[in-house]
Every structure is written in C-alpha cells, then in structure tokens.
Structure 1
C-alpha cells in the first residue's frame, strides 16, 4: 500500500466550469509525474485503466445532491438593530439571484471587440477598457497635510520640546525647519502616489498570474452591484477585509479594478516597505504606517507622527477617496479571525466627528482560500520568530507560486452601511453597565456575587449620556464598531472544500476512514453549512470536490489502497506540522458550528459533574435549560479571545439561549415530559446558577408585566439528550471542535502550578509553549493542535484578565490559603470573608491552586504546595474516546494581579 498521488491538468478544464467557478475533476491524471515530495503511481491503483473508481459514481449520492441540495444563502446583510436604514439601501429582491462570477475568466465577450484578434488579446483589451485615470485619486496630499493646523501645531510643539526635562527652550526657526523636514520625510513613506498606467499594467499581470495558480476567484454579482451603488453616493468607502494572506493587498484592488470601481488606498505595515516592492505598492495605492505608532527611543509618544497619520487619513476622506484597512493588523496565523486593532478605524470615526466628511460607508469583506499562497504558518505556530520580508523572499515566493495551484478563492462584499447611522443608533441606546470579564466569569467561580455594592458603584460611575464628545463613549463606540465589522466579515467568509475535509479528518475521522464515507460526510456537512445560512466557496459533485481538497492539502493527508473492493482509506498525517496545517484550514469552518459547540461542551460539563458527584442517575438525566445556557455563556466569555459568538449589540445569554432552542428543533435535545419535570427538584448547584448571571447578561425586562404570559413562556424547563446514534455522534463532533482550545487552557493552568518565578511575560510564554509542545511530542496531548503558539498567547491573556477580575472585585485584597476547601478572600478591613470553592475553567475544567501573582508583566509564585486537581471534564471525554485517561501534570492555580 502506498500514498496515492493526484495531479490536475487545468489546461483542459471546461470553459463553462471556469466561468461559473465549478470544480470538475474528470480530467484527473491517472499516470503522471506528481509534484515535489510526492511519488509516482501507476493507473492500476485506480482500478481500471483510464477510468475513475466506481465509488465516485455513486448513484445514491448523486441523487441526493440533485434533489436535496439547498439554495445558496445571501450573506453579509446589515445589522437590523444598529443600521436598519442601511439595511434597506443598495439592496433589492433581485440582488441575491444574480449569482456568482469568476473574475479571472476573461474572453472577447468582456470587451467591445470580436474576432480572432480579440480572442488572442482579450486580456490587453479588457485592461485597456477599464475606467481608471489620474483625476480619480487624491491631489496635493503632502502639501495639504503639512499645511493643516494640527500638523503645524505638532511641528511647533516638537521643535519647542526641551532636550532635558525641566529646561526651557525657546522656539527656534531652525528647529522648526528641521522638524518640517522630518515630517516631509515621514510623509514620503506614508503618502501613496497612484499611477493609473501601473494599475492597468498590474491588472494585466495579475490576470496572467492568478490564472496560473488559482482555479478561479469567485465574487457575487449582487454584492458588486451593491458596492457600485454605494460609489454613486459620493461618499468615502472604507473596505475592511479579513487578513489571511499577503495576496489580500492585491486581490481587493484587482477585483474593484475589473468592475470599474476606484482603487482604494491600502494601509500596509512598514515591514513591507522594501526597495522596489514598496515603490510598486505606492503606485497601486498602498501607503505604509508603523506597526507601533510610538517608536521614540525614550518611549514617549510620537505626537508628530500621530498628527501626520490623522490628517493624512482625514484628507483622504475629505477628497472622497476609498480606504482599505485590515482591522486584525496582521495575517491570521490560526485560520480564524483575530482580535480587532481599531487604531486606523478610530481615525476614521474621529474624522466623522470633526465633520471632515458628511458620512462614511463601511464595507466588511470576507476572503476565503482553498489554500493560502503561504501554504501554512507552522514555523510561527511552533514558536519560531517571524522572518522579515525581503525582496528576495518575495521573488522566491512568486516563483514558488507559479509551480503550484492553490485552488479557488472566494471574496464576499458585505452590504455597505452608514457610519453616521451607526454612531447615531449607538448614542440613542440606553447606557448599559460595562460587562467585564469579572462580571462574566466571577459568578461561575463564587457561590454568590462577591460584593453587590461594588457592581452598583461601577454602574453609578458610568456616564449618563452618550455624547460623541465623551471619551468613554468614543472608546466603546470604536471597540464595538470594530467587533461588529469583524464579526460580519467573518460570517461572510465562504466555507471552502479544504476547510470541510480538514475538519472531518481532524474531528470526525482522526483515525482515518474510507474515502466513500468521507465523501458522504462531506455532503452532509455541506448541507449543514448551508442550513445555517453560511455560503460555500465551491460547487460540483461531492466526490470530485473531496478529491480536489485532498490534492490541495498535499502531504497532510494520506490515501492508501485497502485492496477491499478497490476502496481507498484516508487518514490525516499525525506529524505536528501536518496537524497544525490541517487545524489552520479546519478553523475556516469553526465559525459555522461554534455556538452549538459551546452548548455541547457545556452539556458535557454538567453531565460529567453529576457523574463525578454520584448523581448521574438522578432525575433521569434531565438538565435545566437555564443552567445549561448560563454555563455556556460563561464559557463564551472565557474563550472570548479565541472566537466571538455574538455581535456587540446582542446579549451572549440570548445567543446561547437561541442555540439551545436550535438544538431542540434539530431533535438533539428533547424537552422532558411534564410529569418528568414535576418529579425534578433543582439541585443546590442549579439553584445557585439561577442567581449567578449578572444583570447585563440577561435579556429579560425588569418592567415585565406580571399578568402577561411572557413569564410563563420563559419558565425554566428540563432537557434530555437524544439517544439516537446520529445525534450522539454529532454532539461528540461538536465537543471535539473545542477540544484543542480547552486542552491548551487546561494544560496551561497545570503548568502554572509548578512554575517558579519571577520571569518576564515573554519568557513565560516561551516556557509554556515549550511545555505544550513537549506534551504533544510525548503523545500525552489528545489534540496536538492544542500546542499552537496562538493558543498559548490567548491563554496567558485570559489569565491576566482573570487577575484583573479578582483585583477589581476586591480592592486591596489579601488572600491566604484556607484549608482544602479552596481559597478564602480577605478584604483589607477584615470584615468580608468569601470562601472559594473550586474554580471552573470553561465548561467543567476545574482547578484549585497555590498563590500566583502577575505584576508588571512578570509572573510571581509565592508558594509551592501541591493541591489535587479535579481535572478537565471536557477533555476527559476526548481522552476516553482515545482509550486514555487525562494525565494530571501537577496542581492547579489561579492567577492574581497585584
């Protein structure tokens, strides 16, 4: 048995398939030289010569796909809560039916000419006919920025700044001229000089290049029509795409160019400011900004640079130019959307506040790749430092791309919405109490709320108005806007074939499966994705698409011939780099099932707790719906650095409640009969849970009419899990999706117990990462992908926030060990005493521990006593499935911040 190699010959692909973006692999090579690192195999391994396996022609599966395939959803609509008016703009009922288009499929029909010569030079003719000219772009940017009052003031302030603290220096004209030269030099890097001729030339080159290493680049015609309608409003447009690859910079400009839409100015990090390459980027509309705005040697803020950047963005908006900003700041190394860095977005909001522009239209953009041109980010996920970009590295990357095929690309433009409308809607909303990690997680830790007076004081300190001049409101507005945009862009991202195959191999068939079974599960998951109103970035028969995805995943997937009915057996590679790469692509589908996965893990946590307490047989296995929802809400907040389950305008509790209702509709959770519920008396734990969730999480009104039926509808009910084998398998699959996250956090907690400090935070992260890698290499870890560097950073961030929770809740808090029952928290007055029971990490991961502190970026360990760990209920499930028990690596702990 040997690995089966598949290679495609795209030169004979059907033209219709190209134009529509469908996948047809009937032309698979049966005997060909495979690409590097793959072996050559004869056609006998496929069965009959020059024919495909009979399993691919499954009549049953084709019948299902013909009759059961769902209609594609239209993604990216505006939020009906925050921007109801924008939701009705640029959209009509015919938009969703316009269908998809392959942008890189160009022939004579896309030009004004016909005939043999037009077919021969269709790319040149197409590019020449695009509407791009110098008058479309900003004029006199540098001079306008330098002459602005804000920049002039910053220049004078910097020229007047004393060389030593406390000394007085009079403003010197020479010093002012020196600072002006410095400002002009900064603007040379910051200001783009767009060249229409170079845009046309680059468009022709990209048509050639993209056709050589992409099968297709799909866009929805209806979405492009909405963008075109937005351009007619004579307002600046801000494109806010997700960031997964360096090709993102060129991709969006190329698509807009092909549809006669003005190229945006692209904000890029100064790490790409490379000779020759930087000149090209500037000519295409790119401008470079510092990754860290303040780079003064003494650590002071660089007010001159900030003023130049602010006025530069403001001037672009004043001249109604389009901007492209990557809110994540850097490419995602995990395959899922990273946290927002709203620095440039805050400048856009401030420009609106200062009336530099009457309004701004925001367009979130989702981008999905079958395979990114970088291939993977294994080096950085293994903890190695990022390599600096260089001209030679870019050249090597281009040559490498020309020798490979990266499959399909899907770009989705969400519906444009008015920033002014969003700001107005936020300013008119009632002022809620700020929901910190303290409020979200502390109720899951303590039997009762530690100090209600503290919470009341926090609410009282809130501003009573939402005036745009209020700094707290401004910060909250920008943060919510960034989260809103990223959530919409992430939801707009289409699910690609490699995402589904990688997910199935990691979390459904980790030990391998028959190819026919994989194809069937692929079809089922495809339908599940569409049923949840997420779109797919591919079309065609499932058997063809699966083989396409396996080919793109390369050495991460092994196919062997079982010599059983000429069937093939598919297994994921178990090496750490291969698992990391599969996890990267698997995370592309995580946002589809994340809400249900949280419910499944919370469900398992409750069941495991009952089993451990010896009450698993009580009440016929019934579970309080309220208990389940609140448990899930706490888990969402604990893992908030990993993913987002709701928009800022939604309550997490409400989203979790709707997810439970959805599982009830699917028949996975069953509502207990009335006579069964009458026999149930709430346990002490469930009674405590009914009081634990802070009011900001609740979606019920305090002014509810007691005589209405609403209270009856909201009465808690009890649920039980369906015993159907299909439903049980689905719940297990959902739990496995979160397995790597919970194992990473649980392992990080156990590492902290045995850790002695102090060390710098960066050194602590490195030690923790080496510990997780070591667990994986020793086959202790259930999920090798739990050792990725991104999990380590997010886990440490959560520990720091939990430290803030405890410090913020009990000011001047003194903590001492108080027997085997847990912690006792003493206030400085000595009056209040709160016993700590075991701390729940997420859904059932519990730990108790010795005293650790986090002080100024350093981890400090005060004591060294070992306390038995309760272990992780969630992860025990995965270990039991693997035939192992969860290893206890040491005592557990809680981090406190001083």
Structure 2
C-alpha cells in the first residue's frame, strides 16, 4: 500500500536539511537496522468502522447489508491489471486501463423533460408568483425567462461514453499524483446490497479539496455502482469545461453567481435547487454532497432533502457518510478555469513524493428513520451567551446545563422559507453527518507523525523515541475503534511519513549522538502544515483532551504556578518529578469539562449526546487511561451495600441535566492524579491538543480594543487574524493559532458568546465589541476563564 522500502530509504534523507552533511544512505541503513529491534510489523488488524448511529438509527444498524469479513479487504483503485478485464495476453497488459474502463457499467441519465417538470412544480410556481423588483439584467416579459440562468444547470445529465473517457484519463492522472487509492471492499459489499434494494443513495463527505469531487464518482464508477450527480458549488467561467462537467453529472453554480451566498440572493435559487434535487431522486439517481465543517456549506442540501421527504416525493432515501483521507491534501482552488486547472494539475504532477488515499464508506442508514425517530434533535437550544456568561461574569454554574444553538450551520440567508423547527432539524442533520464522516475517516501516517512532533516532541526527538511513540499512538488509536490508513513494517511507515513531511522538519546529526535528532521547523508555514494534519488526531482523543484540560484548570487553581501550571511563563518548564498530591472533586471536574465543551467548535462533539453526558464521559476516560485514580474515602457503609439504604432505588438518566433526581442520591467521588512517571507527560500531551483554539481565544480577547468601532465582517476577520499572527511573532511560539480557520472559528465564538455584536448597515454585516465587554474588568474575567484550560 505504500512505496517500496528500499526506494524510500534511498531517496528520503537526501531532501531533509541536515546540520552535518553525511551520506544519506548510511543514515537510512542505520535507521533500518535500529528499527528492526523496535517493532517488526504493524499487523493486519483493522477495527470495524463506519457503523451508523445506535441512538438515532437503531433499525438501520440492525439491518444486515451484506456479509462482514475479518480479512483486510482493501484494494488499490489505481492498480489495474489484465486480471480486471475479460482478456489476457501481451497486448491486453498494455491496454488494460482502456479495456477496464470500457467494461464498466454506466447507466445513462437523460434530462429530456426535466426543465418542464421543474418549471411546473408548485414550489417554483409559488416563487414566481411573488412580486419582486426586477434588476437591470432581468427580463420581465415572461416568467419562464427568469429561469434562463438555470437552464443548463437543470439539464445536467450523465453521458456514458464521456464518463468512460474521463474515467480513463483521471485514472492515469491520479496514478501520477498518488501512489495508491485504497478502497475497503467490505464496505463496498454492503453498499452494493443497499443499492439493489432500489432506494436512492445520497453520499455525504467532508470537503477537504477539489479532488473530493473527483474521487468519489471515480470509485463508484470503477466498482459498477451508479455514478452520482455531484453537487459542486464552484463557478466555472470557461464554457467548454462547464459543458463537459455538466455531461458528467456535475451540478455547478448558476451563471452569474460567484459563490453560494451570491446565488441565494436570487429568490428563485432555493426553490429551483430543491425541485431539481427532488426530480433527481424521483428518477432514482444517486447524489453526492460535500459538507464543510468551517463554513457550514452543504447543510442546505440536507434541509432540501428533508423538505422533499416531508412532501412525499420519494418514500425514503439512504444516506451514506464517506470518509476520504489523504497523506497529503492536494492544493485546492475555489475558482476553476483553464489556466487555474492546468496550473493545479501541473503542481500536483510536480510533487516528488506521492501520498496515499483511503476511502471508507459508512453503513447506509435510512433518512426517514433518522428524521421520524425524534432522537436526533436540538430542541431547547439556548444561545451561547446565555449559557456561559453567567458562569464567567457572575460565577453562576446552574446556567451551563443545556444545549447551545448553532446558527452558522444553516445561516438565515440560506433557505429563508424554512420554519425555525425545520431549520433546527437541518442543523442537527448537518452536524450529525459531519461527525459521521469524520468518525469513519482513517488516520494517515502524516497525521500521527505531525501530532507527535507538534504536541509531544516540539523541541526535538530522536528517531528511536519517535518510532516507539508512533507504535504507542497507533495502539491508542486502534483501541478507540479508529482505523489507520497504512500498513507494513514500521521502518516503511516512518520513512514514508518523514518523506512527505520533509519540508517541515530539520534533521540534525550530532557526533555525540547515535541517533539523528528530528525537530519541527520553527516557522509559521511549517507549524500550520503540521497543525492541519494533527487536527484529525484531536478528534480521536477529544474525550481525553477535554478531561485533561479540566484537570489542568483545577490544578492551576489549587497549585498555581508552583506546580508548573497557569498561563504565565513559569509554567513552560515542567520537571519529570512533578507531584500531583491534590484531591479533585468529580462535580467540579464535570463542571469545568462542561464549560469547555461549550467553547469548542462544532464537529468535535457527537451531536446526539448532551454536553453534560459528554463531560461525565470525559472524566471517566481519564480514569480508564490511568491519569486519574479514584480516591478512597473511608465510610461506615460500603458503597456496594445497597440494602441499608432506606429510600427505594430509582433509575435516572444523566443525559437530562434538568431533572433533580440526577443529583439527589448520587455519591460524590474524588480523584487524584496518578503518580507514574509518564502520567504528567501524557496529561500535557492531551492538554496540548486543544491549546491552539483556546490560546487564540485568549489572544483575541486581549486585542478587543482593535474592534471598538463597527467594522465589516471580512475586515474584522482580517484584523483578528493579523493580531494573532503579530502576537505569535512577538512571543516566537504558538504559530498554530495563526491559521485563517482558527481566526474564523474564534470570531464566530466571540459572536455567539456576546463579545462581538452584529449590526446590519446598508445590507452588510458589521461587527463591534458589545458594551458589556468594552469594560476592562469583563475582558479580564473572560481571559482568565479561557486561560485556566491552558497548561502552559
């Protein structure tokens, strides 16, 4: 699945910067000899991933969509041989790609009368009947002419000869870009079983790059599954490229709209897109949608799917979360033209070291069951400032029990015809599918290596220690039922990861050291690259990370800077002989974890679980991994002696924090931090996983004086981003806080927290600091509240 070991050993060290020039091959042989004594092989075990939610879709979980297998069950999509065709021979081996593509089954899809059906639909006719003020570019002679920008979009179809030609071309191109595209055959078996039942399939994946829109249809085409209509919110101005893509089933933005926000200005856009989606599903076509965790794009398509289901146009639809994992994410481009497309392809072909791709299909589940069960809802959601501000400014802890509203997932400008209840259901569906796609994604070797270098060995690490920690991290990931996207010998995996990350690393050979020292390059660009890959590991350890930050907050309050905790400079150096002889109360730990959960960006926490229940699990996870040990309190009656209690036993659910029975008869527990030598290092590692986002909030709070005057939202975002970069340059550290994604998440959190208030002026959104936080005391209280979770 990965490149040849000898080839990597020969080529990898030559491009790593070294402080002392030595023959690259000798270093590679030394590493190979050293690693043989560490771990000979990583094994072939893979956990079973991709199962649908047990709480929201129990019937779909129990439905058997094919036979499961304990074998590895992976196949390289780019490795096409003569055995994949019906022919044999010398000529077949040279034309196997052509014969393979020719033998694929593609079901044609014509759009002969789709335009008339969309125009005559009740939804579009109702939108046309609403009076509007025509613009200079609109023709008001006939209502049908108002649909002219959407004519080509509605007539999007799938032309089988063109699909085969482009499929052959893309296979050849991806073979030059990636070393392998691994597909789980066991997942495909269940997918084929679901497709045979005649239910339309809707594929949902998290958007990472424009290559996502190519990989998913290509995989389905190569395995004789129906090629889906791909929702691609890009504006392509070149006419012939747009025509080719529309014959491949790609639904683009309408002509004249540069983004989805611009398209929604037209009152006809949402009704037309909903009608087009309904017509595609009525025809039995498959559809693929990409959702974004940063901008929330894609949620409106799930809301449209909900509308279609309520109208009864189709009986049911199967949703299939898809996880696509990259060793190296290809360069993205939001605007595709001839020059930009050629430049993007050329830059991908110029990459010397090619990464791998892993594609996982989750178990299909019924969309109707998910909506009608009523288990996956956000009822009773409260604004974030109502939940946290009383605890921050007034120290009132009772306000934190509740769910927060997440308006950014489905903004009001998207589909304004939705009611508030339907909008909340759409938000819940988007968050749930975003979490499902992230959960089934495999962790690649670059993500694991970046996490170790950034959060555990930022000052440098020897090769032997790095390999030992990599084996430990792989075991921890597999223990949490998360798959990894690689296999083979350890020396193979380590060389592959270091080769792909070589622009971000410094390799130093000291005469006094037997092993070379690998250090992350202390620059902004390299730190952001490592942070981008390490984010996938943060989602895997989110339970332990939240619990560790809660422990850090309590230790910083009790012990202060004397024990190496706090936000000051004294807490940056921590000794190995650190003692944690402090008793921590379970109730206080849960409150700290619950407050932190409300600060985290959406997508990390499971949406079908309450934050209070998640905080309880976060504390329990630290006990399971050995960081916390339950403190035994001497008592007259043993805990196991239930017969001595006078009141009858009643069962209560911890998921309902509003019920008084959850807190009446619950025995309070106390914990102590365990004393093994590796415990402090593990605790600091888990705390570091969330330090980037929390530190960005602290720095943004320090720079609120830059936002007193009303500023347009893009200008405000730019100013916050510049302040984060300037602060990181001043302290010469913590460059992971300087990405545009972190700045955008920080501004959004400050808005929902009530620190920044929105003002609508001339159709534009302006942001400024609210009157409450223009007071210096409130700013300092907010900063202290956030900084308590930082361990250094």
Q: TM-score higher than 0.5 here?
A: yes
Secondary structure (helix, strand or coil) at the match of 1:30 reads helix
The change in CA–CA distance for 1:116 and 1:528 in structure 2 (over 3 A counts) is: same
User: Is residue 709 of structure 2 the alignment partner of residue 757 of structure 1?
Assistant: yes
Question: What SS class does the counterpart of residue 29 from structure 2 fall into?
Answer: coil
Who is 1:211 aligned against? Answer: 175
1:540 counterpart SS class: coil
Cα displacement (A) at 1:218 = 1.0
Contact in 1 for aligned 2:378/2:424 (Cα 8 Å): no
Paired residue for 1:736, among 670, 674, 688?
Answer: 688
Secondary structure of 1:674's aligned partner: coil
- Partners of 1:875 and 1:117 lie apart in 2 by 67
8 Å contact from structure 1 (residues 363, 416) kept in 2: yes
Q: Give 1:472 shift.
A: 3.5
Q: Distance in 2 between matches of 1:180 and 1:729?
A: 67
Structure 1 860/85 Cα, relative in aligned 2: closer, same or farther at 3 Å? closer
Asked if 1:371 is matched to 2:328, the reply is yes
Contact kept, 8 Å, 2:713 with 2:767, in 1: the verdict is yes
Q: How does 1:150-229 map to 2 (within 5 A)?
A: 150-157=123-130, 161=132, 175-177=140-142, 179-229=143-193
Does 2:25 match 1:46? yes
From 452, 460, 464, give the equivalent of 1:516: 464
Which residue matches 1:858?
Answer: 767
d(CA) in 1 for partners of 2:706, 2:449: 39
> Residue 507 of structure 1 corresponds to which residue in structure 2?
455
Alignment counterpart, residue 644 of structure 1, candidates 604, 609, 634? 604
Quote the residue 1:305 is aligned against.
Answer: 269
Q: 1:69-468, aligned counterparts within 5 Å?
A: 71-91=45-65, 94-95=68-69, 97=71, 99-134=73-108, 136=109, 139-157=112-130, 161=132, 175-177=140-142, 179-289=143-253, 295=262, 302-328=266-292, 339=296, 341-374=298-331, 388-404=335-351, 405-426=353-374, 432-438=379-385, 440-442=387-389, 444-445=391-392, 447=394
1:140/1:874 CA distance change after superposition, 3 Å = same
Q: Give 2:6's aligned residue.
A: 26
Q: Secondary structure at the match of 2:204?
A: strand
Is 1:58 equivalent to 2:26 in the alignment?
no
Distance 1:162 1:559, change over 3 A: closer
In 2, distance between residues paired with 1:512 and 1:206?
Answer: 40
Q: Tell me the residue number matched to 1:584.
A: 532
When structure 1 is superposed on structure 2, of 106-115 and 184-193 the one drifting more is 184-193
Summarize deviations over 1:589-645 as a string: whole Å, max 9, x none: 22111221111111101111123499999995111112112211111111234x422
Deviation for aligned residue 1:395: 0.2
Change (3 A) 1:502 1:33: closer
Post-superposition CA distance 1:727-747 (Å, at most 9, x none): 211110111111111110000
Counterpart secondary structure, 2:357: strand
Inter-partner Cα distance in structure 2 for 1:787 and 1:734? 21
Counterpart of 2:596 in structure 1 is 635
- The alignment partner of 1:269 has SS state of coil
Q: CA RMSD in A?
A: 3.7
Q: In the alignment, is the contact (CA less than 8 A) between 2:444 and 2:485 conserved in 1?
A: yes
Contact 1:609 1:873 (8 Å CA) reproduced: no
**Greater Cα offset, 432-441 or 729-738:** 432-441
Instruction: Please list the CA deviations of residues 312-360 of structure 1 after superposition, one character each: whole Å capped at 9, or x if unmatched.
Output: 11111111111111122xxx7xxxx764641111111111111110101
Once the two structures are superposed, residues 759-795 of structure 1 have per-residue CA deviations (whole angstroms, 9 ceiling, x without a partner) of 33332222222111111222x1641111212222222
Partner Cα separation in structure 2 for residue 446 and residue 284 of structure 1: 56
For residue 441 of structure 1, report the CA deviation from its aligned partner: 1.9
Q: Deviations over 1:489-523 (max 9, x none)?
A: 00111000110111111111111111121111111
**Match runs of 1:761-772 below 5 Å:** 761-772=713-724
Mapped to 1, the partners of 2:398 and 2:91 lie a distance apart of 80
User: d(CA) in 2 for partners of 1:855 and 1:865?
Assistant: 20
Question: Is the contact between residue 183 and residue 358 of structure 2 (CA under 8 Å) also seen in structure 1?
Answer: yes
User: Contact 2:377–2:424 (CA<8 Å) still a contact in 1?
Assistant: no
1:529-568 to 2 correspondences below 5 Å: 529-564=477-512, 566-568=514-516
C-alpha separation between the residues in 2 aligned to 1:97 and 1:620? 48
**Mapped partners of 2:36, 2:499: distance in 1:** 24
Structure 1 residues not aligned, in runs of 5+: 1-20, 165-173, 378-385, 459-468, 679-694, 805-851, 881-898
Q: How much does 1:875 deviate?
A: 5.5
| Counterparts of 1:769 and 1:129, CA distance in 2 | 52
Report matched runs for 1:872-883 at 5 Å.
Answer: 872=784, 880=792
- The superposition leaves residues 454-505 of structure 1 with CA deviations (integer Å, 9 ceiling, x where unpaired) of 99xx9xxxxxxxxxx9933322221111111110100111000110111111
SS for the counterpart of 2:37 is helix
- Going from structure 1 to structure 2, the CA distance change for 1:591 and 1:39 (only over 3 Å counts) comes to same
Equivalent residues of 2:67, 2:189 under 8 A apart: no
Q: Secondary structure at the residue paired with 1:47?
A: helix
- 1:652–1:697 contact (8 Å) kept in structure 2: no
Structure 1 residues 658 and 162 mapped into 2: Cα distance closer, same or farther (>3 Å)? closer
Give distance in 2, aligned partners of 1:33 and 1:697.
Answer: 54
> Which range moves more in the overlay, 867-876 or 347-356?
867-876
* CA shift in 2, pair 1:874/1:543, >3 Å: farther
Contact 2:18 2:506 in 1 (8 A): no
Larger Rg: 1
Q: Quote how far apart the aligned CAs of 1:873 are.
A: 8.0
CA separation of 1:400/1:793 partners in 2, compared to 1, >3 Å: closer, same or farther?
closer
Alpha carbons of structure 1 residues 508 and 429: separation in structure 2 relative to 1, 3 Å:
closer
Aligned residues: 737
**Contact 2:177–2:354, Cα closer than 8 Å, also in 1:** yes
The counterpart of 1:798, out of the listed 731, 735, 749, is 749
Give the SS at the match of 2:629. Answer: strand
Deviation string, structure 1 residues 257-278 (Cα, Å, up to 9, x no partner): 0100111101111424533322
Aligned in 2, Cα 1:668/1:431: closer, same or farther, shift over 3 Å?
Answer: closer
TM-score by length of 2: 0.85
Cα distance in structure 2, aligned partners of 1:199 and 1:41: 53
1:638-717 → structure 2 map (5 Å cutoff): 638-641=599-602, 643-646=603-606, 648-675=607-634, 698-699=655-656, 702=659, 714-717=666-669
Is the contact between residue 155 and residue 176 of structure 1 (CA under 8 Å) also seen in structure 2? Answer: no
Residue 44 of structure 1 deviates from its aligned partner by: 2.5
In the other structure, the counterpart of 1:841 is: none
Do the aligned residues in 2 keep the contact of 1:803 with 1:854 (CA within 8 Å)? no
Specify whether residues 163 and 146 from structure 1 end up closer, same or farther in structure 2 by C-alpha distance, changes over 3 A only. closer
Q: Tell me how far 1:796 sits from its aligned partner.
A: 1.8
In 1: Cα distance, 2:127 partner to 2:758 partner: 37
Q: Measure, in 2, the Cα distance between the counterparts of 1:490 and 1:250.
A: 19
1:385-407 C-alpha deviation (Å, 9 max, x unpaired): x8743320110111222222431
Q: CA 1:559–1:359 in 2, change beyond 3 Å: closer, same or farther?
A: same
Contact 1:240-1:364 within 8 A present in 2 as well: yes
1:626 aligns with 2:587: yes
The CA distance in 2 between the partners of 1:636 and 1:116, in whole Å, is: 61
> Helix, strand or coil: the match of 1:371?
coil
